[in-house]
Structure 1
Amino acid sequence: MDAVSAPASIEELLDRIMEVSDGLPKRLRQCADYVVANPDRIAVSTVAEMAEAAGVQPSAFMRFCQVLGFSGFSQMQRLFRDSYIPAWPDYSTRLEKLRQSGAGSPSALLAEFVEAGRLSLETLTRTIDPRTLDVAVKALSEASMVHIVGLRRAFSVASYLAYGFEKMNVPTMLHDHVGKLDSHHAIRAGDAVIAITFAPYSAETVALAEAGARAGASVVAITDSLASPLRPVTPLLLTVQEADFGDFRLLSATLSLAVALVVAVGTANRERQNGI
């Protein structure tokens, strides 16, 4: 294989893996499959740990890095360390951090969270790719049914999207996994899936997105990083980076994005129905 330059971003790296993976030998393909499925592990693992998890020798994993254009594992790891999102502490730890910071009165807390929300919204305007957003809106507006999944912290966003689309007369199904019911068989070709998940990522949400892609549905992902496990599922990746205060993350930017999607898709549907 001819020498290639090292990818300059996580997005370029994942794109390159997808381009070359079909032609890789078995052991290097194992490395590719593991990296795509577990990008969050690269920033915090040694090459020996990555190799063991992928079921190969460290030398094979090093060769895989070189095939991608890196001098070795360390160079590839630097891409992920810059955007690494560690596991968030439990709520008791977060409350203790707030106490130690001297957050003070409820009104002071409110001011801090408002400021964090403002920062999140400003970041959103810089990070959302308008072309990706346009394609996502087109896919959702042309879908026979929009399936929505977002669990845990993302559930409020998923619920709002389902509510908003229903008010806009957009056929919608909310997959809430109540009773651990799996409704992925309801997804058909011509449908669309909105999958929402943030670190630590929901395996159920990723699984539904993958099922939607296999069924021939368009998949729109709302997530927080290009290293998200939704990245290999769809090119329609809308990344939202929420600011936090005291390790409590807001949803200001994510909900603003959700409102924009509801209005844009509802407007596109209405225009198509009226022949505009």
Structure 2
Amino acid sequence: MDVIQKIHNLYPEMTRKQKSIADILLESPEDIAYITLANLSQKTSSSELTLLRFCQKLGYSNFLEMKAAFREYTQSMVKLLSSPQYFVPDATITDVEGKSELLRQICREEAEASQRFFSSLDLLSIISAAEAIRGAKRIFICAHDISHVLAEFLYARLKLLYFDVCLIDLTDLNDTQDKLDMLTSQDLVIFIAFPKYYYPLASIAKNAFSHGATILTITDSVSSPTAQYSKHLLVCYTATRVFYNSLTLPMAMANLLLSYLVIDLGPDYRSRDLSNANASNTNNLK
């Protein structure tokens, strides 16, 4: 039995205070995987002792056990709601000519989407995002599933330009939390978010935002789960006939972003390597 079912089963016999705690946990269970006992105490207006008794009511010996149960629940929802899929074409298309025609239609759609993308491109948004990258002390790139392909591309290019960059695979919730706990107001978090959106994505972005980090999102819509927490938002259309997302335009967006960085850094970009090395040596001497 998962933690959500336990709460529902025990809800009728809970005290009024316990029910208010349960209501908050049920409202956003994915948040609990990333919250501390002190933060939950503040969120529920409860003492830490009251929360520990609530954990015991559910059959957990301490808060960490309950938190692990919520993480396990979140992981199960990830598998259910964030798994990759593709659209199956019309099953009646069986001959080579019909399949070729479908491919031509996809080509036209990609070309039209690219034309709309480049004709309506907001270069100032790209420049602003590039400046945020350049000004960040550290950069954390977060992605899941197919978005991770674009994340690896960005990571490799930023390393080539000697940025201090870390790649986070959101599938690993434990590693994600460890990395988020490192964030400061000097850091930049880049979310790459396309459908199917990763189930706990909004909670992860909220956690990063609460640490004061600047957030940049590359996504397909202004209503993306991380958009409300993002200072920089780069939007590109990705829907296709066969897969949920085409990487054509996201890759173009990443290329433009990186191209401006190279233009902005100029021929002295290698000096960043020396600067980072000196900073590392200084820290080692402390």
TM-score normalised to structure 2 length: 0.56
Distance 1:103 1:215 in 2: 56
- How far does the alpha carbon of each residue in 1:51-73 deviate from its partner, in whole angstroms, 9 at most, with x for none? xxxxxxxxxxxxxxxxxxxxxxx
Residue of structure 2 aligned with 1:264, choices 260, 263, 273 = 260
Using the TM superposition, name which of 108-117 and 199-208 deviates more.
108-117
- Residues 88 and 144 (structure 1 numbering): CA distance in 2 closer, same or farther, change over 3 Å? closer
Per-residue deviation at 1:240? 0.8
Residue of structure 1 aligned with 2:114, choices 111, 121, 146 = 121
Residue of structure 1 aligned with 2:146, choices 140, 153, 160 = 153
Say if 2:190 is the partner of 1:198.
no
SS in 2 for 1:209: helix
5 Å matches for 1:69-218? 91=85, 94-95=87-88, 97-101=89-93, 104=96, 111-177=104-170, 179-180=172-173, 181-182=175-176, 183-218=179-214
Per-residue deviation at 1:192? 0.8
Per-residue deviation at 1:226? 1.6
Letter in 2 for 1:104: V
- Who is 2:21 aligned against? none
5 Å matches for 1:36-47? none
Q: Cα RMSD over matched residues?
A: 3.2
Using the TM superposition, name which of 166-175 and 107-116 deviates more.
107-116
Distance 2:155 2:234 in 1: 18
Equivalent pairs: percent with the same residue? 18
Which runs of 5 or more residues in structure 1 are unaligned?
1-33, 35-86
- Who is 2:223 aligned against? 227
Distance 1:88 1:179 in 2: 13
Which runs of 5 or more residues in structure 2 are unaligned?
1-26, 28-80, 273-286
Distance 1:271 1:135 in 2: 21
Say if 2:255 is the partner of 1:251.
no
Per-residue deviation at 1:144? 1.1
Distance 1:109 1:208 in 2: 39
Q: Report the structure number with the largest CA radius of gyration.
A: 2
Letter in 2 for 1:156: V
Check conservation: 2:83, 2:196, Cα contact below 8 A. no
- Residues 236 and 128 (structure 1 numbering): CA distance in 2 closer, same or farther, change over 3 Å? farther
Distance 2:159 2:82 in 1: 33
- Who is 1:80 aligned against? none
Per-residue deviation at 1:199? 3.0
Check conservation: 1:213, 1:219, Cα contact below 8 A. yes
- How far does the alpha carbon of each residue in 1:161-220 deviate from its partner, in whole angstroms, 9 at most, with x for none? 111111222221001135432221122221111111123322444333323322222211
SS in 2 for 1:245: coil
Check conservation: 1:141, 1:266, Cα contact below 8 A. no
TM-score normalised to structure 1 length: 0.58
Letter in 2 for 1:256: A
Check conservation: 2:82, 2:197, Cα contact below 8 A. no
SS in 2 for 1:237: strand
- Who is 1:38 aligned against? none
Per-residue deviation at 1:221? 0.9
Distance 2:85 2:213 in 1: 37
